[in-house]
Chain A
Amino acid sequence: MRSFLREPLVLFLLLGGLLFLLFAWRGGGTSFRSNRIVITPGLIQHLSSGFMRTWQRAPTQAELKALIDEHVKEEIATREAMAMGLDQDDAVIRRRLRQKLEFLTEDIVAQAAPTEAQLQAWVNAHPDLYRGEARVALRQVFVSPDRRGARARADAEKLLGRLRAAGPRAATETLGDPTMLPAELPLGPQRDVSRVFGEDFARKVFALEPGRWAGPIESPYGLHLVLVFERADAPAPDLAVLRPLAERDLLADRQKQELDALYRRLLEKYTVVVELPKVSDSTAAAGVRGAR
């Protein structure tokens, strides 16, 4: 008997069996997954700081207990769900993971602030983005085809003659037809004119010679006699003013480039096999089409 026990194989099996029983008794089943949930002081601090940032005060004892209880539930649910494989093939989880990976990369890239020279180079390389806009200030007199019908244009021409005779200081308060369109627009870029009177009108106004009544110019509302009384040319790009914009744009561009680079580099690690469906297999083909 004693010699039997001294057999190394028997001893090994016996000890193995004991260990198995021990794990089963501790509730570990046959897996070696840890079933301990430890609430550390750090975690408690994390939970209560989250509460504080929400409510602008510390949690009471009861609230803290509820926070911990909820956290424990969440931890259990997460572990059990993962053990069941519920995290697999879950579109939400996959997309969230991808998002986190991309955010991580973007954040890393954003750590390096662009230098003055890099910013200047960026602005020089993208003149269209930072070109200033010309601005005009205008007054307008409205002639409504809705009110005047066919004679609107002739009336407008006649009115133009009177306005030109009176010059840029012409009193216009009672001229033309009433409208809620503004009679005057302060100095502003083309988009400011276009948002009120439409794009065509704005384009035409920006081609006008300042200081002289012109028109009639058509808008979606009717006819207008227009005086550009001030014009300011587009200012040259000035990095001092553009700095925050240029920095924002340059960083955004870098982040895109770096993310692109990251995927290219990661792709090297993988072998991608694409098994295209046969053309006749219409269902599968539709599946590919759907995967825009």
Chain B
Amino acid sequence: MTASRILRGVLLLALSAFLSAPAFAQDAGEHNPETVKKAFGKRPYSPYAGRKYPTQVYFGDTHLHTGASMDAGAFGTRLGPAEAYRLARGEEITASSGQPVKLSRPLDFLVVADHSDNMGFFPDLFAGKPELLANPTGRKWYDMIQSGRGAEAALDIIGQFSQGTFPKEIMYFPGTRAYKGAWQQAIAAAEKYNEPGRFTAFIGFEWTSNTGGNNLHRNVIFRDNGDKASQVEPYTVYPPYGSDNPVELWKYMDAYEKKTGGSMLAIAHNGNLSNGLMFPVVEAFGRKLDREYAETRARWERLYEVTQTKGTGESHPYLSPNDEFADFELWDKGNLDCSVAKTKEMLEFEYARAALKNGLKLEQELGVNPYKFGIIGSTDAHTGLAAVEEDNFFGKTTPQEPSPERMTATFFSNPKSGVKIMDWEVGASGYAAVWATENTREAIWDAMERRETYATTGSRMVVRFFGGFDFDAKDASNRMPANVGYTKGVPMGGDLRQAPAGQAPSFLVAALKDPMGANLDRVQIVKGWIDAKGELREKVYDVAWSGGRKPDPRTGKLPSVGSTVDVENATWTNTIGAPELITVWKDPTFDPTQRAFYYARVIEIPTPRWTAYDAKRFGVKPLPGTRMTVTERAYTSPIWYSPN
């Protein structure tokens, strides 16, 4: 790598300057009383008018790093939050590797969750500083900038700094408010790109607790705008400001809410790399789990990120031996830095389904369920690019942006522990789907808080899931399933209590394929419960599927949907599967005295994995064992049943 090469790259990047922003429209929330009066008489003609429930699902990423994150910067990511927002809202930009990149369609929201390291940058030169203008040098710079010679001023400032001739009277030192932090920069970018009704740019950060290489990371998302968020610094793991113990993070969140009247929530991720520490049941950080722990965790950690580039953590074949779909994009070799290899005993405390089950048991013991979380997916990309479509995957880190090398390169290797992870194991996953009443910070955050969310592994299927005691088969042919769903039951993330005598809960579940994606294979409902003996149980039910397939009368197993994938050419057809599946399912083994949870899992027909597109496009032979197909899926937040 030579200096001129780098420089040329920089210049090219800079020259490519401003790429097209999509047309802007004032379409959000515009209301024309004239038209309304004309169209409807006294009562609205439209049965859809006046509906208060969410009619639209919004897709986004709650977990994207940019060059402002120390490790992302080290990987070579040059894109900042502004570029990240621009890509997410549908613009074409240039990736750090110099390649043009654009999403197939815009996302609706984005959280730039850079690691919470705090640093001072540079003097905020002219913000309300009359003394600066009184200084001849300061005045000169000011005039240069105002007359559009900013680069010249920057050069002069840099020169004076380096030669020690910077005027003392206008020099700021760390510790004065004149030093602007990375955090203020991040907030400013979010404020600029937040367009209520069109695109939501959340303010957030990642708290990166990683002691011993065990991943206990949490993304913290603000409901608030910059005025409140800028009153606080992101929480770090460095004492005495911060701590690596989640209990301390929750205290910090509480202090923020009390002081500013704002709201925060936290989303944990990658339990699969925590080596058994993500979902403890006995003790955490040397303290026995008690009611207070359970209450606090349940209060702040409303969601769990179940799928992302570093693997999917819904369940594991070891934990769910009867679940034929449990073996999906697993990362189960060790912890985050691969320093300690995985043992089977750790798995129960790392995967979402097992945690949901243990939560029921803890609720029985402590009176509160600490693991009552909703489900989302996100990318955790460190590229500034929320691009996880299989045919448009820009990798987890900048060296993993599209190139012939990523089919065969090693991502992580620790010779001591023997743990090695290849680039091909990185998954093109996932997104967060949120049923919100509108595309604003407040509405989307509120939907997250009430857990009306689901995860997808990158596809954008539309999934509804309602639970109640009154659903019947007819509801599955209703023209407005959501209307029935909200009227007769609770949506995903909700609670059912005290079943009426002799009644079992029934669920209305509906899935629509991604309009640009593959057909659906099946819809399943996963039930977890605690039986009369106090044993934790789980069962996966196929509830709706495509074609005329009949479950095997002996095993009850539904035959496979098959596959149309042509790996060599990276193509598939929608000749199998169904574009839409809907049904009402009643729990056949319900016991009203036993705690339970239910969530839906929607599975697409097999499609080419990103590795198949790469093999085809770059003409690279995959390493033995490389997975070349994928069955994209969605996981909804659970609905819980409790006897009291």
Contacts of A55 in B (CB 8 A): 252, 255
Which chain A residues in 195-209 approach chain B with CB under 8 Å? 195-199
Task: Tell whether B587 is near chain A: CB-to-CB under 8 Å.
Answer: no
Contacts of B516 in A (CB 8 A): 198-199, 220
Task: Tell whether B615 is near chain A: CB-to-CB under 8 Å.
Answer: no
Chain B residue at minimum C-beta to C-beta distance from A246: B24
A252 touches B18 (CB 8 A): yes
Tally of A-B Cβ pairs under 8 angstroms? 258
Interface string of A52-73 (1 = CB under 8 A from B): 0111110100010011001000
A109 touches B158 (CB 8 A): no
Task: Tell whether B239 is near chain A: CB-to-CB under 8 Å.
Answer: yes
Contacts of B35 in A (CB 8 A): 230
A50-B118, A261-B151 known; A191-B106 Cβ under 8 A: yes
Question: B125, B192, B515: which contacts A107 (Cβ < 8 A)?
Answer: B125
- In angstroms, Cα B45 to Cα A34, docked, is 82
Chain A residue at minimum C-beta to C-beta distance from B73: A95
Task: Tell whether B512 is near chain A: CB-to-CB under 8 Å.
Answer: yes
Contacts of B10 in A (CB 8 A): 263
Least CB distance from A152 to B in Å reads 13
B578 touches A146 (CB 8 A): yes
- In angstroms, Cα B48 to Cα A187, docked, is 13
Least CB distance from A191 to B in Å reads 7
Contacts of A63 in B (CB 8 A): 240
Contacts of B510 in A (CB 8 A): 180
Interface size of B in residues (CB-CB distance below 8 Å)? 106
A107 touches B122 (CB 8 A): yes
B239 touches A291 (CB 8 A): no
A262 touches B151 (CB 8 A): yes
Task: Tell whether B175 is near chain A: CB-to-CB under 8 Å.
Answer: yes
- In angstroms, Cα B580 to Cα A264, docked, is 56
- In angstroms, Cα B232 to Cα A57, docked, is 11
B70 touches A133 (CB 8 A): no
Q: Of B474-482, B488-496, B597-605, which binds chain A?
A: B474-482
Which chain B residues in 435-491 approach chain A with CB under 8 Å? 462, 464, 477-482
Centre residue among B27, B45, B68, B97 by max chain A CB count within 10 A: B27
Centre residue among A43, A107, A197 by max chain B CB count within 10 A: A107
A42-B176, A135-B25, A183-B479 known; A260-B7 Cβ under 8 A: no
Contacts of A67 in B (CB 8 A): 240-241
Least CB distance from A136 to B in Å reads 11
A57-B255, A263-B11 known; A197-B515 Cβ under 8 A: yes
Contacts of B481 in A (CB 8 A): 180
- In angstroms, Cα B254 to Cα A76, docked, is 34
Interface string of B21-50 (1 = CB under 8 A from A): 111111100100001000100000111100
Question: A95, A103, A242: which contacts B122 (Cβ < 8 A)?
Answer: A103
B255 touches A56 (CB 8 A): yes
A252 touches B23 (CB 8 A): no
A257 touches B403 (CB 8 A): no
B154 touches A108 (CB 8 A): yes
- In angstroms, Cα B248 to Cα A63, docked, is 15
B73 touches A248 (CB 8 A): no
Question: A95, A96, A183, A259: which contacts B151 (Cβ < 8 A)?
Answer: A259
Which chain A residues in 258-274 approach chain B with CB under 8 Å? 258-267, 270, 272, 274
Contacts of A173 in B (CB 8 A): 47, 479
Contacts of A135 in B (CB 8 A): 25, 27
Contacts of B282 in A (CB 8 A): none
Least CB distance from A128 to B in Å reads 6
Least CB distance from A205 to B in Å reads 13
Contacts of A112 in B (CB 8 A): 145-146, 148, 150
Contacts of A45 in B (CB 8 A): 175
Which chain A residues in 32-89 approach chain B with CB under 8 Å? 42-43, 45-47, 49-51, 53-57, 59, 63, 66-67, 70
Interface string of A10-47 (1 = CB under 8 A from B): 00000000000000000000000000000000110111
B18 touches A249 (CB 8 A): yes
Contacts of B232 in A (CB 8 A): 53-54, 56
- In angstroms, Cα B74 to Cα A75, docked, is 22
Least CB distance from A186 to B in Å reads 8
Question: A46, A51, A191, A272: which contacts B241 (Cβ < 8 A)?
Answer: A51
A220 touches B74 (CB 8 A): no
Least CB distance from B549 to A in Å reads 14
Contacts of A53 in B (CB 8 A): 231-233
Chain B residue at minimum C-beta to C-beta distance from A95: B73
Question: A111, A180, A244, A266: which contacts B125 (Cβ < 8 A)?
Answer: A111
Contacts of A211 in B (CB 8 A): none
Chain A residue at minimum C-beta to C-beta distance from B482: A180
A54 touches B242 (CB 8 A): yes
A259 touches B106 (CB 8 A): no
Chain B residue at minimum C-beta to C-beta distance from A201: B515
Contacts of B192 in A (CB 8 A): 244, 248
Question: B6, B145, B233, B478: which contacts A50 (Cβ < 8 A)?
Answer: B233
B21 touches A189 (CB 8 A): no
Question: A66, A174, A229: which contacts B239 (Cβ < 8 A)?
Answer: A66
Chain A residue at minimum C-beta to C-beta distance from B121: A103
Centre residue among A54, A103, A219 by max chain B CB count within 10 A: A54
Task: Tell whether B567 is near chain A: CB-to-CB under 8 Å.
Answer: no
Question: A100, A242, A263: which contacts B14 (Cβ < 8 A)?
Answer: A263
Question: B14, B73, B175: which contacts A96 (Cβ < 8 A)?
Answer: B73
B126 touches A133 (CB 8 A): no
Chain B residue at minimum C-beta to C-beta distance from A169: B45
Chain A residue at minimum C-beta to C-beta distance from B188: A110
Least CB distance from A211 to B in Å reads 12
A291 touches B5 (CB 8 A): yes
- In angstroms, Cα B578 to Cα A119, docked, is 50
Contacts of A270 in B (CB 8 A): 3
Centre residue among A128, A197, A262, A288 by max chain B CB count within 10 A: A262
Contacts of B242 in A (CB 8 A): 54
Contacts of A154 in B (CB 8 A): none
Contacts of A129 in B (CB 8 A): 20-24
Task: Tell whether B291 is near chain A: CB-to-CB under 8 Å.
Answer: no
Task: Tell whether B539 is near chain A: CB-to-CB under 8 Å.
Answer: no
- In angstroms, Cα B24 to Cα A130, docked, is 5
- In angstroms, Cα B106 to Cα A107, docked, is 28
- In angstroms, Cα B235 to Cα A221, docked, is 46
B512 touches A221 (CB 8 A): yes
B157 touches A104 (CB 8 A): yes
Interface string of A84-126 (1 = CB under 8 A from B): 0000000110011001110111011101100000000000000
Q: List 23 A-B contacts (CB under 8 A).
A: A54-B252, A55-B252, A95-B76, A96-B73, A104-B154, A108-B154, A111-B125, A111-B126, A111-B150, A132-B25, A169-B45, A189-B25, A189-B27, A219-B515, A234-B23, A242-B24, A244-B192, A253-B17, A254-B148, A259-B151, A261-B151, A263-B7, A288-B2
Given A50-B118, A189-B25, A189-B27, 8 more pairs with CB closer than 8 A? A56-B231, A129-B24, A130-B23, A180-B512, A198-B515, A254-B148, A291-B5, A291-B6
Shortest beta-carbon contacts, A-B, top 3: A46-B175, A260-B14, A291-B1
Which residues from chain B sit less than 8 Å from chain A, CB to CB? 1-7, 9-11, 14-15, 17-18, 20-27, 30, 35, 39, 45-48, 55, 67-68, 70, 73-74, 76, 82, 90, 97-98, 105-106, 118, 121-122, 124-126, 141-142, 145-146, 148, 150-155, 157-158, 173-176, 180, 185, 192-193, 195, 231-233, 235-236, 238-242, 252, 255-256, 258-260, 403, 405, 462, 464, 477-482, 510, 512-513, 515-516, 574, 578-580, 582
